[in-house]
């Protein structure tokens, strides 16, 4: 029952945020919409910040989950690396185009909840580190520090998935993402890092 309530609170909060925006939704509004006391909500979330953290985490999980499936696939590391970048690009761009208002809300929650973003970035880096390490093990790559290479790959592909850039005027193409990934993969094979 408690998990159901928690989910219900999160869903209701998202619906309210979507309609009224981040600054205008208080914990009491969520409680009122659910017909429960705000004390009941505080049993699940210690504060509005806590509630927003949970919303941001849930949202970011819808990004990392399909990426994890790619990481765990059987393809060569170079193939998985390209698929991972292209999927990250698609997921972020779809979120922006499908629901720009909600994207803005989520983006500002994520920005405010620094710890949540740091955790998300750490997850993405862990996925990339695993692909690079497995590429080393399989003889595809010759990378001395997979964690350093993972950070370089994430930074080098910001143009295609960073929320602060996605809302810019010019949307980069998938062909452009493939070109960058091709350079990076060649770099991973070369022993440059």
Contact residues for a second copy, defined by CB under 8 A: 114, 148-149, 151-153, 155-160, 162, 164-165, 168-169, 172, 176, 179-180, 182-193
Least Å distance, CB 79 to a second copy, is: 14
Closest CA to 35 of 71, 9, 1: 9
Contacts of 160 (CB under 8 A, 6+ apart): 85, 88, 89, 172, 176, 177, 180
Least Å distance, CB 58 to a second copy, is: 22
Q: How far is 75 from 189, CA to CA, in rounded Å?
A: 16
Residue 185: enclosing H or E segment and its boundaries? Answer: helix 174-190
For residues 131 and 80, the answer to whether their CB atoms sit within 8 Å is yes
């Amino acid at each position: 029952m408690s998990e159901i309530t928690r989910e219900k609170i999160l869903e209701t909060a998202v619906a309210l945020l979507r309609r009224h925006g981040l600054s205008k939704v208080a914990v009491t509004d969520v409680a009122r919409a659910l017909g429960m006391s705000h004390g009941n909500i505080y049993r699940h979330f210690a504060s509005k910040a806590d509630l927003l953290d949970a919303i941001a985490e849930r949202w970011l999980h819808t990004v990392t989950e399909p990426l994890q499936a790619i990481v765990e696939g059987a393809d060569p590391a170079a193939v998985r690396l390209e698929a991972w970048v292209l999927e990250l690009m698609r997921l972020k761009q779809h979120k922006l185009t499908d629901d720009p208002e909600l994207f803005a809300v989520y983006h500002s929650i994520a920005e405010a909840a620094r710890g949540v973003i740091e955790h998300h970035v750490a997850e993405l880096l862990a996925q990339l580190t695993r692909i690079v390490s497995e590429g080393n093990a399989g003889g595809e790559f010759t990378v001395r520090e997979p964690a350093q290479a993972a950070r370089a790959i994430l930074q080098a592909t910001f143009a295609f998935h960073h929320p602060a850039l996605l809302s810019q005027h010019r949307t980069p193409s998938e062909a452009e993402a493939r070109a960058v990934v091709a350079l990076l993969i060649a770099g991973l094979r070369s022993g440059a890092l």
